[in-house]
Structure 1
Amino acid sequence: MSLKKASLIIVLILIIDQVSKIYIKTNFALGEEIKVFDWFHILFVENEGMAWGTKIPGAYGKLILTLFRLVAIFGIGYWLWDSVKKNGSRILIISIALIFAGAMGNIIDSVFYGIIFDGSYGHVASFLPEGGGYSSLFHGKVVDMLYFPLYDGYLPGWIPVWGGNYFTFFEPVFNIADSSITIGVILMLIFNKKAFPKQRKEEAKA
């Protein structure tokens, strides 16, 4: 698979990801929710840290995280370029392209959203506000909106430990970029033998 085709996948995902985030950011107040189906909601939340809302503590935690993401994206980009150069398998290149696109999508939020949008608390944010953004460069928050509460209710009392407690599955709210990363990783795991055929052959010979 050529680098041109891999780049097309990346650009397509980035466009879908950013259009969806900008739409949500400029049409929803933070916490606003629309029920599309019982099992699928559009819910606007912002993630200040890593996956699952994890944060790096301290005054420079957010900056460290954003810089780490930038370093990581260069590593993934090199991996993609190297895989294409070495005629890596199609599934491997597609997987890396998906991971790269997802990582880049969230990096754009982290780097730029703090300066191009104002806050979303209690009102809909403005794009390029006159008074400036809600934060500074490298301190933006990642926009999430896809919420799939497949089960939402109290667990049966006979279940040990958690019985009788209120439970939501699946609780995390995520975005297109997160989905792209997840799909890329899953493809690599499922099609491991096709993704790394040469490595498999070398291991077999050893």
Structure 2
Amino acid sequence: MKISEKIHQILIRKLFFFSLFIIFFDQLTKFLVLHNLDVFEQIKVTSFLNIVLVFNTGAAFSIFSDGYHWQRYMLITVSLIVILFLVHLLIKTPKENRLNEFAIYLIIAGAIGNLIDRIRIGMVTDFIDFHIGNYHWPAFNIADSAISIGAITLIFFEIKNYLSTKKLQE
């Protein structure tokens, strides 16, 4: 086995354990909020940040949260398909593309964190409430943050790779 392959395997293990930490931290923070706050109860942290217990039965920004029970099973199924697709993508990602691996691990960890909620309680626990004055960004959680950071990182580097390839072709 080459040294570069050993280094890559070590990195993969570190990313795997980092993902487990994200899932654990997501579930721990949700547990603490669930057991210490009532629904819609707020704790002011700063002038722009509250901790508030809310539930999301839908997807991002409460899409599909129309109150019907079908969306729970649809979102669980979609989450499982996305996770499996991302694992496949991770396997196919070139070893040199470490930031893409990091981004994919973040998205997988976030998807698993929210999937655990959907399976366990039928909805996702959100609690981070950023606001400016009376304008509040939709509440979110650690898993949502991991998904967002991973997706932004993946998109950024895919655009960068595309532009680099295009420049080389000219």
TM-score (structure 1 length as normaliser): 0.70
Q: Which residue of the other structure, out of 20, 35, 50, is the alignment partner of 1:26? A: 35
In structure 2, list runs of 5 or more residues that go unmatched.
1-7
Which is helix-richer, 1 or 2? 2
Distance 2:71 2:24 in 1: 28
Q: Which is higher, the Rg of structure 1 or of structure 2?
A: 1
Indicate which of 63, 70, 74 corresponds to 2:84: 74
Structure 1 residues 43-82: aligned runs within 5 Å: 43-55=52-64, 58-82=68-92
Tell me which of 11, 25, 33 is aligned to 2:20: 11
1:110-131 CA-to-partner distances (Å, cap 9, x unmatched) read 112x2xxxxxxxxxxxxxxxxx
Amino acid at match of 1:33: Q
Residue 105 of structure 1 and its aligned partner are, at CA, apart by 0.6
Q: CA RMSD in A?
A: 2.3
Residue 144 of structure 1, aligned match among 122, 126, 145:
126
State the distance in 1 between where 2:46 and 2:72 align: 35
Q: 2:167 and 2:57 mapped to 1: Cα distance?
A: 42
User: Deviation of residue 81 (structure 1)?
Assistant: 2.3
**10 and 52 in structure 1: CA distance in 2 versus 1, 3 angstrom threshold:** same
Aligned with 1:49: secondary structure? coil
1:106: which partner in 2? 114
How far is the alpha carbon of 1:40 from its aligned partner? 0.7
Counting matched residue pairs gives: 160
CA positional deviation for 1:201: 3.5
